[in-house]
A and B are shown apart, each in its own frame.
Chain A
Amino acid sequence: MHQPISTRAELIDALRVAAELEHQLMAQYLFAVYSLKRYTYEGLDPVLLERVRRWSSSITLIARQEMEHLGLAMNLLSSIGGTPSFTRPNMPQKADYYGQAGIRLELTRGDLDTIKRFQRFEAPDELVADLKPGEPVDQKKALHWCEREKKKTRKVAASRAEMMERLEASRLEAAPVTSFGWSSVQELYQTIYKGFEALADEMGEQKLFVGRPSVQIFGGPGGRQPVGSMDDLNQYGVDLIGVTNLASAKQAITMILEQGEGIAAKPSYLPWTHFCLYTGIRADMEEFDRKGLAARPVVRNPMTRLYPDVEQDEVTLLTNPVTIEVAKLFNGSYELMLLMLLYLYSDNVKSQEQVNGMMDGAFFPLMTMFVRPLAEVLTEMPAFNEKPKGRLTNAGAGFELNGDVLLVPTIDATWDLFQERIDVLVAGFDALLRDGDPWIGLPHQKEDGEKKSRIWRRLEYMRSNMQRLAFDWRAHWNIGYSSQ
């Protein structure tokens, strides 16, 4: 257990670890879900395909909430004067990277072993306390935990206030110390929670919360959405709380713990906690997908090149040259999305039009119209140029970062530098689609009445949209009516 936090610097450090962790979890979950079969031509019977679709919906919900947790960690960080950061190590990392927390950082397809790993990430402390490293959670105990509502074995919290009170009273005991820090995600947040309390008590809330709320991103049921016009974040299962004082800081942390492990969650919400969703998917997979057909044969930890910060013998280097180009487009889109988000969290002077444009016209579509579909098509592409040695043959998105993701220091140049990155992506799509259709010969890629493969047509759609984005960026949003 970690020693209590007693300074602002320690709290900032802990929050940066939290942000990095949430980012890593999100990437792993997304990698797994994009490997799951989606289409009627992939050989699953319709009933199993429907189940896989439900698993995918659940995992994407969890991943969105990890994004929410990342956003909350950034808001918490910003609220006390910390510098927002999306820096994280590439994957894979050695098993003890997060010490006793046992969070193995690697990208693996959405099979049963992976789901068990994710279930353990999200497990409440009482279910992992006696487990060895890598050992899955006892499924019977997990099911029992998730069925508390029916069994009424625990006292039911009636309100958010009561939940917070219970969390405070029963879960946040003083923590002893180890060298790394935390034995679980739950403990990390509990330490942060106590740190906020201790520092607010010691220096007063006014002195602790020095960050300006206008450089946070928040929205959802709790209040006005100040960034862009995406007032429906909550409709995507995302609820970002602005952090301005001790109460809102505690509320943000409580929400993370409710959604993840289900600590102090209302019993009626338990089935929707990350831990219970993964428990349900695991039960489903064990019953209905014993042959492991649900996931495409996607390699582990696919990378376009080796990075100094990874466990190199566990990387799968992509060798198919066309696939590598698509993977680079993914990495470029992903990094640009992070840079834009960082810019939104920065204290740079920006007009409301720029903020709206960045959020609605660039950040959101980068995430949904490029990062995700590129990650999806990669899992249908060959990883290797040569005949594969094993049964895993397909590529995937490595979420590769070349180093720190840093804010562009020159405010005036920011938009031009983003323009350059968008233009590079357009050029990448152009080059990729210029000559022929390298995917037309892959199984099921030729559709009746179509000359081009399914993959080519998806990439062409992305190219057209990236060109539009570049055009609008250059023209300063030559868009149609938008009520703003």
Chain B
Amino acid sequence: MLILNFEGYFQMRMATDPDPTDERRGVSGYTFALAGEPDLDAKIHLQPDEDGVWERKFGRGGGPRVGVTVRSATRNGAAAPELAGTRIAFVDAQILEHNGILVRNDYFIIHPFRVRLLRADDETILLERVDWLNPDDPAMPENDATATMLTRRQAKKFTGNSQAVADATGLESPANVALIANRLERRRSLQELLKTTKDPVEIAALESRIEQLAIVERWWELSANVGQNRVINRRAAQLALQLDGWNVDMNGAVAVNALQAATNYPWNISFWMGGWDGDALCGYIKGTWTIPLAENVKERR
């Protein structure tokens, strides 16, 4: 069995509620394609060199950098250090719910779901497999899926103020006060960056980002006297929100198999996503890809 433990920041440039899910620039949610930036593509980018990635500047405070890599690997229980640093990609994947039409309450599905393992330092693909919503009709659009088909592709559990997320992303704490402090620090950092920025297009984009982060503070101030249940704006809350429970036995065609995996058995992938930074349009993903090896199993005919 080959076990790949992966994690890192992904980018997802998508519109947020109550924008429609095919919105390309962002209007009524809190994520936007800002001045000088390409249209939102709503895709999950795990690697920085993918088409559609647009990494913003953060100033002195820094911010997330896209890149999901294998941090540790084992082959039949023994460490496989040669695979550490290899890269994971979700090819053309989108995180979908169609504003409640497909699935409710943001228990997203990921579709299409094609997972790829690339070498650390070049574009060589080591493994690639797709998962089909409907193995009898691989081209079936997601809107035709039954509840059973959707459920196996969905996340299962939200955890707010998640310690696991804080640990992964380096947040000082998952408590609301820390999340607010984080956003205010980002705003300060962008304000300083603004002072040294000369390009009018970059200035326009920075001003919008600062304006969005100011909303976090306004909400916090408005709820100053409500005690324990102080309301925190989603722009801050989602920094420590975890959506867990994706667990898919990948059932589709194997496109690349350079590591002698067993192709007639499911490859299981499980992960969580969270730590969403709406200013950076980035979040964190952490999971495990478990792949049976041909040497361990008798291939089915």
Interface positions of A (Cβ within 8 A of B):
33, 38-40, 46-47, 49-51, 53-54, 56-57, 60-61, 64, 159, 221, 229, 232, 234-236, 266, 268-269, 272, 356, 360-361, 364-365, 367-369, 372-373, 458, 461, 464-465, 467-469, 472, 478-484
Contact = CB atoms under 8 A, between A and B. Distances in A.
A480 B109 CA distance: 9
Given A468-B98, A480-B103, A482-B105, A47 B231 contact: no
Given A46-B35, A46-B201, A235 B233 contact: yes
A50 B103 contact: no
A40 B144 CA distance: 33
Contacts of B34: 50, 53
Contact of A57 (B28, B146, B200, B221): B28
A60 B101 contact: no
Interface of B: 17-22, 24-28, 32, 34-36, 39, 98-105, 107, 109, 141, 143-144, 146-147, 150-151, 153-154, 156, 200-201, 203-205, 207-208, 211, 218, 221-223, 225-226, 231, 233-234
Contacts of A229: 104-105
18 contacts: A33-B27, A38-B25, A39-B25, A50-B35, A50-B204, A53-B25, A232-B234, A234-B231, A266-B222, A364-B18, A365-B100, A368-B18, A461-B22, A465-B101, A465-B143, A479-B147, A480-B103, A482-B104
Given A54-B211, A236-B18, A480-B109, 10 more contacts: A39-B24, A46-B35, A47-B35, A221-B226, A272-B218, A365-B100, A368-B20, A368-B99, A369-B98, A483-B105
A323 B204 CA distance: 35
Contacts of B98: 365, 369, 465, 468
A373 B22 contact: yes
A33 B150 CA distance: 35
Contact of A53 (B32, B39, B104): B32
A307 B122 CA distance: 66
B235 to A, nearest CB: 9
B151 A480 contact: yes
A472 to B, nearest CB: 8
Contacts of B17: 232, 235-236, 368
Contacts of B208: 50, 53-54
B218 A479 contact: no
Contacts of A159: 225
A47 B204 contact: yes
Which of B25, B35, B104, B211 has the most chain A CB atoms inside 10 A of its CB? Answer: B104
A467 B153 CA distance: 21
Nearest to B152: A480
Interface of B is mostly: loop
A16 to B, nearest CB: 27
A439 to B, nearest CB: 16
A189 B132 CA distance: 56
Contacts of A483: 105, 107
Given A234-B231, A268-B218, A367-B18, A481 B156 contact: yes
Contacts of A56: 27
A482 B103 contact: yes
Contacts of A461: 22
B35 A361 contact: no
B99 A364 contact: yes
B27 A60 contact: yes
B98 to A, nearest CB: 6
Contacts of B107: 480-483
A151 to B, nearest CB: 20
A218 to B, nearest CB: 15
B161 to A, nearest CB: 16
Contacts of A236: 17-18, 28
Contacts of B26: 53
Contacts of A232: 17, 234
Given A38-B27, A64-B28, A368 B147 contact: no
Contacts of A51: 204
B159 to A, nearest CB: 12
Nearest to A454: B24
B139 to A, nearest CB: 14
B141 to A, nearest CB: 7
Contacts of A266: 222
A48 B200 CA distance: 10
Contacts of B28: 57, 60-61, 64, 236
B31 to A, nearest CB: 11
Contact of A360 (B25, B100, B203): B100
A364 B20 CA distance: 10
Contacts of B204: 46-47, 50-51
B24 A369 contact: no
A64 B19 CA distance: 12
Nearest to A47: B204
B268 to A, nearest CB: 18
A484 to B, nearest CB: 7
Contacts of B25: 38-39, 53
Nearest to B25: A38
A159 B141 CA distance: 52
Nearest to A463: B143
Contacts of B99: 364-365, 368-369
Contacts of A39: 24-25, 39
